Structure 1
Amino acid sequence: MTTAIYWFRNDLRLEDNPALVLACKSADFLLPIYVHDKHLEEETPWGFPRISEHRKVFLQASLEDLRAQLRSLGSDLVELSGDFREVFSNLRTQLGVSQIYCEQIEAPEELQQVSALRDIGFEVQALWQSSMLDPHSLPFQLKQMPDIFTQFRQQIEKSKLRFAKPVDSVQAIPSLPNDGAAYGLQTGVYTKASNSLFIGGASGAHAHIHQYFERRLVDTYKLTRNQLVGMDYSSKFSPWLALGCCSARTIANALSDYENRYGANDGTYWLWFELLWRDYFRFLHFKYGARLYRSAGLGNNRSNPFDGLKFNQWASGNTGTPLVDAAMRELSKTGFLSNRMRQIVASFWIYDMQGDWRAGAAWFESQLIDYDVYSNQGNWLYIAGKGTDPRGGRPFNVAKQVKDHDPDGVYQRMWLNEAA
C-alpha cells in the first residue's frame, strides 16, 4: 500500500491539476498539505516584510476554499508551518512516507526547495502545469526560445497554437493515512481583515470568470484595459491565477467557448495575447533561470544603489508626484494596482528616483495579492532594461501618463483623499 504527500504550492485547485491527478492515481493513501514556510516570514534585504497582510488574507481564504472542496471528497487539507525540510522530515517520521507530488515552479527559490527535499531522501515528482500552452507543443526548445516577445508570439501563432486542453477536475481522492488522524492541523493561520475587493479560492475564481464572460466584458477589454478605476476595466483574473485557484488553460478554454458562441474580436484576441505574455515570462525561466535575478539581470550594468530614504518615500506614496503617490497608496491600501500604474510607478522608481529595481520588485512581491514570481520578475526587468526587451528600458513620462489616463484627476483624488 503506497502512501504519498500532495504538496499544494501555487495550484490551490482540484480542477485542471495534472500533478494532483497523478498523485491520486498512484497512491493508496494521500495526505494533501500546504506549508507556510517560515522563510517567507523573514524580512527582505531592504527591511520590510516579505508578505503583507493583504497577501496573507487572500491566501488564507484560498486555502479555506480548497479545504472545503477536499472535505467534500472525504479528504482534508493539512496546513503546517516551519522550515519546510523539518516539516517534511517530521511527516516522514510519522507516516513513513517519502513520496511527494507537487507542481513544478521554475524559479530559483522554488527549485531549491525541491532539490533540498531530494537531497534528504524524498522522491519528488514535480509536474509543470501553470502555463496556458504545453511547453512540449512549442515550435522550439525552451532553451532556444526567441528572446523578443513579438518573435515568440509570431512563432506561436504561425504554429496555430492557442492553449492546452485542461484536464478534468479530480472526482475522488485516496483516503487520508492513519484514518485521517490530525497531523498538526492548522486553520485560519491568517485572519486579519483586508480591504481587498477579491476573495480567494477556486469558488470565487469560477464565479468571477463566469460573470466576466456572461456580462461580455471581454468585448471591450482592449479598449478599457489601461483604465485606473473600478473592477470591470480589465479581467482581474490575476489574483486567482497567481495562487492557482484557477488555471490559465481553464480561462483560455472559457475564452474559446465564448468566441465560438459570440465570435472573436479585438477584445478576445487581446485577452489571449495577455495570457501569452504570462506564458512568455514563465518560459524565459527555463532559458535563463537565476540570471534573471542578478543585479544586472541579463545585461552587464548593475542596478542603481539602494537609498532607504527615497525608497520609503516611494513605497509610502510621499514622493510629491501625485499620480505616483496615489498609486502607491492604492497598493498599500488594497494589495492591488492596475497594470498601467504598475508600469508607471516602476519606471518612476528606477528612472526618476534612481532606485534599485530589485527593491521595487521585492516591494511588489510583498504587497500584491496577485504576486506571481515569473510575471513580477519579467515586468521589472522589462521596465529596467535588464531583460530581453530590445529597447533597453521603458522610462515613462509621468505628465504624459496623467494626460492620457487621468486627465480629470479622478484617480489621484480618490487615493490621495482616501489616505489623508
Structure 2
Amino acid sequence: MSTIIYWLRQDLRLDDNAALLAACAGAKLLPVYCHALQTDSGWGFLRAGPHRLAFTGQALDALRRALRARGSELCEIAGAPADVLPRLARQISADRVVCEHIAAPEEEAEVAALRRAGLRVDTIWQSSLYAPQQLPFAPDRLPMTFTPFRQAIERAARVPEAPLATPDTLPPLPEDWQRAESPARVPPAVEPRSSFPYHLPAFHGGEDAARAHLGRYLASALPHRYKATRDSLHGTDYSTKLSPWLACGALSPRRVWQALKDFEAERGASESSDWIGFELLWRDYFRFLLLRHGTRLFRATGLSCQPVSAHNEAAFRDWRHGETGQPLVDAAMRELAASGYLSNRLRQVAASYLVYECGGDWRAGAAWFEAQLIDYDVYSNQGNWLYIAGRGTDPRGGRRFNPQRQADEHDAQGDYRALWSSA
C-alpha cells in the first residue's frame, strides 16, 4: 500500500488544490509543512520577520483544523526539506512526495535535493489563474512586456479553468507517524492603524477567513469602485485585500476569478470590476516571467545590461527604519515595519526612493520586503522590484516617483503622514 507525503509550500488550503488531489491517489497520506530555519538575508536581517511568520501560523492553524475535520492531520517539522523529508519518508515508508511547483531558484533547488536523496517528487503547477498549457504561446515565448501578454490572452479568448472542489475526506494517516501538537506560534501584531489588521478574526490568515472576506467584498459595491480607490494609501476597503491569502495559498486565484464572474453576472460588469481581473493577470505575468527567465531575475543586472551601482548601506539603513527625512517614505516604512502591510502605491514610492534617491541596491529592498510583508510572494516581489529598478520588463526603463508629488496627489491633507508620523 503506497504512502504519499503531501508537502505543503505556498498552497495552505484544501479548496482548488490540484497537488492535494494528486496526493490523495495514495492509500495513505501525510500532509507536511516544513518550517525553514531562520537565515540571514545577506543584507543584515533575517529573511522572515514576525508579521509573515504570524500570518503563516494562522493559515497553518486553520489548515490543521480543516484536515482534522476530514480525518487527517498536519505534520509540522523544522528544518530544510532536503534534510527532514527523506528522514520522514523512511520513518513512514513513503515512496512519493507531491507538492506544488514553484519556479524560483531556491524552491527548484529544494526539489532537486529531494530527488538526489532518492525520493520521487511530483510537482504540480497551481498558483496562477491560467495554467501554462492554456497560454496562446509556449512559456519560453512569453512576451517581454505585460501589454502584449494581456492582449494575446484576450485575443485567444482563453478562460481560466474552473476551480477544483474541496475533498470531503482524505486518505488515512500512516500508522508509523506520531501525532504532535502544534508548534508555538508567533503572535500577531496588534496594530489598530493597519490597513490589513490580521490580529482581527476577519483578517485571519486561514482559508475560511479568506473565503469569507472574498464573499463580503463582492457582496458590497466595492468592486465597482475599485479602479478609483485602488491607489489610496490607508484603510481596509480601498483595495480587495486578497493578496495576503493569495500569497500563502489560503485562497486560489481561480476561486477569486469565479466569484468575480458570478458577481458581474448578478450585478453587472464595470471597468472597475474588470480591473480586478487585470490585476490577477499581472500576478500571472510575473509567475510566467520567472518560469521563463529563472535565475536571471535574481542577478544584480536582472534582464538589463545596465551597470550595477554601488550600494549605499547607510542610506539603506535609514530607509528601512523610516529615517530618510522624506515624510511620505518614512511614514510608509513605519507602517510596513509595524503592520507587515503597505498599499501598492506606497510600495512603488518607497521602492523608487531607495533605488533612485538613496542609491540602494534593488535586491536589498526586495529582501526587506520579503522579510516584512505578510503577502510576500517571490514572483510578484521580484517582478515588481525589477520593474521599478528598470531591470525587468518595464518598456520605460524603470519607474522613478517624486515622493512630494505623490504626497500632494494621494495625501493632500497629510492624514496618512500624520497617522504614521511615529512608530
TM-score by length of 2: 0.96
Kept in 1: contact 2:210–2:245 (CA 8 A): yes
Kept in 2: contact 1:303–1:357 (CA 8 A): no
User: What's the CA shift for 1:398?
Assistant: 1.1
- Matches of 1:163 and 1:249, distance apart in 2: 7
- Matches of 2:188 and 2:215, distance apart in 1: 26
Kept in 1: contact 2:2–2:95 (CA 8 A): no
Matched ranges for 1:40-55 at <5 A? 41-55=38-52
Residue 81 (structure 2) pairs with residue 70 (structure 1): no
Uncovered stretches (5+) of structure 2, i.e. residues with no partner: 191-195, 199-203
| Matched position secondary structure for 1:177 | coil
User: What's the CA shift for 1:365?
Assistant: 0.1
Query: In the alignment, what sits opposite 1:221?
Result: 226
Query: In the alignment, what sits opposite 2:18?
Result: 18
User: What's the CA shift for 1:302?
Assistant: 4.1
Kept in 2: contact 1:219–1:266 (CA 8 A): yes
- Matches of 1:162 and 1:406, distance apart in 2: 38
- Matches of 2:389 and 2:186, distance apart in 1: 36
- Matches of 2:71 and 2:302, distance apart in 1: 47
Query: Greater CA deviation, 161-170 or 405-414?
Result: 161-170
- Matches of 2:89 and 2:135, distance apart in 1: 38
Kept in 2: contact 1:197–1:334 (CA 8 A): yes
Of 104, 123, 128, the residue aligned with 2:125 is 128
The one-character-per-residue Cα deviations of 1:228-247 (angstroms, maximum 9, x if unpaired) are 11000000000000000011
Matched ranges for 1:332-351 at <5 A? 332-351=337-356
Identity %: 48
Residue 187 (structure 2) pairs with residue 192 (structure 1): yes
- Matches of 1:194 and 1:221, distance apart in 2: 28
Matched ranges for 1:105-184 at <5 A? 105-178=102-175, 181-182=178-179
User: What's the CA shift for 1:121?
Assistant: 0.5
Kept in 2: contact 1:34–1:78 (CA 8 A): yes
Query: In the alignment, what sits opposite 1:373?
Result: 378
The alignment of Structure 1 onto Structure 2 pairs a total of residues equal to 413
Letter in 2 for 1:88: L
Residue 87 (structure 2) pairs with residue 90 (structure 1): yes
| Matched position secondary structure for 2:395 | coil
Uncovered stretches (5+) of structure 1, i.e. residues with no partner: none
- Matches of 2:221 and 2:131, distance apart in 1: 28
TM-aligned CA distance change 1:304 to 1:170, over 3 Å: farther
The one-character-per-residue Cα deviations of 1:130-158 (angstroms, maximum 9, x if unpaired) are 00112111110010011110111111111
Matched ranges for 1:25-36 at <5 A? 26-36=25-35
Kept in 2: contact 1:54–1:194 (CA 8 A): yes
User: What's the CA shift for 1:47?
Assistant: 0.5
- Matches of 2:371 and 2:181, distance apart in 1: 23
Letter in 1 for 2:353: F
Query: In the alignment, what sits opposite 1:258?
Result: 263
- Matches of 2:95 and 2:406, distance apart in 1: 54
Matched ranges for 1:408-419 at <5 A? 408-417=413-422, 419=423
Matched ranges for 1:263-274 at <5 A? 263-274=268-279
| Matched position secondary structure for 1:178 | coil
User: What's the CA shift for 1:89?
Assistant: 2.1
- Matches of 2:338 and 2:376, distance apart in 1: 16
User: What's the CA shift for 1:286?
Assistant: 1.7
Residue 321 (structure 2) pairs with residue 279 (structure 1): no
Query: In the alignment, what sits opposite 2:243?
Result: 238
- Matches of 1:86 and 1:287, distance apart in 2: 29
Kept in 2: contact 1:95–1:177 (CA 8 A): yes
Residue 309 (structure 2) pairs with residue 314 (structure 1): no
Kept in 2: contact 1:5–1:99 (CA 8 A): yes
User: What's the CA shift for 1:186?
Assistant: 4.8
Kept in 1: contact 2:5–2:89 (CA 8 A): no
User: What's the CA shift for 1:179?
Assistant: 6.8
Kept in 1: contact 2:50–2:186 (CA 8 A): no
Query: In the alignment, what sits opposite 2:201?
Result: none
- Matches of 2:124 and 2:268, distance apart in 1: 34
- Matches of 2:167 and 2:295, distance apart in 1: 34
Letter in 1 for 2:187: K
Residue 403 (structure 2) pairs with residue 404 (structure 1): no
The one-character-per-residue Cα deviations of 1:289-346 (angstroms, maximum 9, x if unpaired) are 1101100001122433222211110001000000000000000000000000000000
Root-mean-square deviation (CA, aligned residues, Å) is 1.1
Kept in 2: contact 1:305–1:356 (CA 8 A): yes
Kept in 1: contact 2:55–2:188 (CA 8 A): no
- Matches of 2:292 and 2:80, distance apart in 1: 29
Query: In the alignment, what sits opposite 2:193?
Result: none
Query: In the alignment, what sits opposite 2:57?
Result: 60
| Matched position secondary structure for 1:68 | helix
Letter in 1 for 2:337: S
Letter in 2 for 1:27: G
The one-character-per-residue Cα deviations of 1:37-89 (angstroms, maximum 9, x if unpaired) are 22xx0111111011110011000000000000000001000100012222112
Kept in 2: contact 1:304–1:357 (CA 8 A): no
